[in-house]
Amino acid sequence: MNEIKYKPIGVIHSPFKEPKGTPIQPSGAKGISGTVEVFPKYAEGLKDVEGFSHIVLIYHFHLSGRSSLTAKPYMDSKERGVFAMRGPSRPNPIGISIVRLIEIEGNIIHIQDVDIVDGTPLLDIKPYVPEFDIREGGKKGWLEKKVHKLPGSKDDGRFTK
């Protein structure tokens, strides 16, 4: 299979200057504001986005360290498979966050519930649609007994270069 290459379409801005101390999921970052700067050549693609309450940001974990197929997740002390966790050190360091859309001014999107480090390259934006994205009765796997830790969980630097 050929190599796949992506080019950023923008940059995510947040109050977090480094991974350490950053909330580990948007639901643990309630009320934290940021912006998404969409590069001008892609700004036309923002047409009609303002009608959604939330957007899905797909981005490159540019500060993640060496990838590993197993690691200790943030809310656990047991080694887990990389595909059973959402940490940044993975074969393809791609992150996703569902954030609240506040407003769009030109090519700048104002967002809240940001759990992303300032300067993170943006790969794509998709609208969040509850009927598409919510699955009733979903199972949480090993996180079932750990998810209660989310509100106070922060990146501790374990996956940084």
Domain boundaries, the chain: 10-152
Query: What was the pLDDT predicted at 161?
Result: 65
Angstrom CA distances, 84 to 50, 81, 133, stand at 33, 5, 19
Residues 121-151 pLDDT 10s: 999 999 999 999 887 888 867 777 777 766 7
Global pTM exceeds 0.75:
yes
For residues 5 and 144, the model is more confident at 5
Query: What was the pLDDT predicted at 118?
Result: 98
> 150: which residues sit within 8 A by CB, 6+ positions away?
24, 25, 27, 28, 75
Q: What is the CATH number of domain 10-152?
A: 2.40.30.70
